[in-house]
Amino acid sequence: MGYGITLRVNGDYALFTRPEMKAERVSYDVMTPSAARGILEAILWKPAIRWVVDSITVLNRIEFESIRRNELGSKIPPRNVAMAMAGAAIDLHQYTTSDRQQRASLLLKNVDYLIEAHFEMVPQKVGESDTPGKFYNMFLRRARGGQCFHNPYLGCREFAASFKLMEHEEVRPDSYYAEEAEIDLGWMLWDIEYGEELLKKKPVYTYEPKFFRACMRHGVIEIPDEVRL
C-alpha cells in the first residue's frame, strides 16, 4: 500500500525569500521544497515520521507584486541568549517602536500549487504502536477536516495558506504551464541540514544550506530525493 498524498495549497500572496538577497526581500518564482514540507508538518508532525516532497505543480500563472512592509531591523544575538540561560541579567526584549524599518518586498500573488509528497519512518523515533498506516490515516483525517497544529503559511507567517486534500478519484487541475516543455528556474534552496560539531570539547550547532537546479516541465517541478554538494 502506498502512503503518498496530494495537497492543494493556495493563497492571495506568498514570499519564498531568496537567500542571496540582502535587506530587501525577493521571492523565488515558485514555492520551495522546504516551504512545502513546512505546510505538511503544520497539518501533521510526529517525531516518528519525516516528510519528503516529491513534486510541486504550479497551477496559476507566476505573477509578482511589489509592496513595502514593516520589519525589525535587528535580531537578538545568540550570545545574549546563551548568557541569559547561564543566569546573566540580559535584556532579551525587542522594541518594535524604535527598531521598526520599512523594506520593499517582491511578492508572488494569487498562488496555487499541488504538493505531492510521502513520508518515511524515522527508525530511532518509532514507538511500539507506530505504523505507516496509522500516520497516513491520521494525516488524511486531519487534512479532510482542515485541522492543523498551526496555520500553514506561504513563506512568511502573514501570508496564510488554504489547503485541501486531493482524493485519489479527483481530477487534477491543469497547470497554466502545461504546454511549456521546460522552464529553467535556476538554483533554488532545497533545504537546510542541521548538525552538531565539537569545538574545544563543547557542542556547536551547525547548519548547511543546500540548493538544486529547479526545472519546471509542463508545470511540474520534480524534487530530488537528496542533494549532494
Hey, what's the cell of 111?
498562488
Instruction: State if pTM tops 0.95.
Output: no
Residue 66 confidence (pLDDT): 92
Residue 80 confidence (pLDDT): 83
Hey, what's the cell of 43?
497539518
**How far apart, in whole angstroms, are the C-alpha atoms of residue 193 and residue 209?**
6
Q: What is the mean pLDDT of each run of 10 residues along the chain (229 residues)?
A: 84 93 86 95 94 95 90 80 84 80 89 95 87 93 94 93 92 93 92 71 75 94 76
Domains in the chain, CATH or no CATH each: 5-70+102-222 (3.30.70.2660)
Taking the CA atoms of 14, 20, 25 and 26 in sequence, report the sign of the dihedral they define.
Answer: negative
Residue 1 confidence (pLDDT): 43
Residue 187 confidence (pLDDT): 93
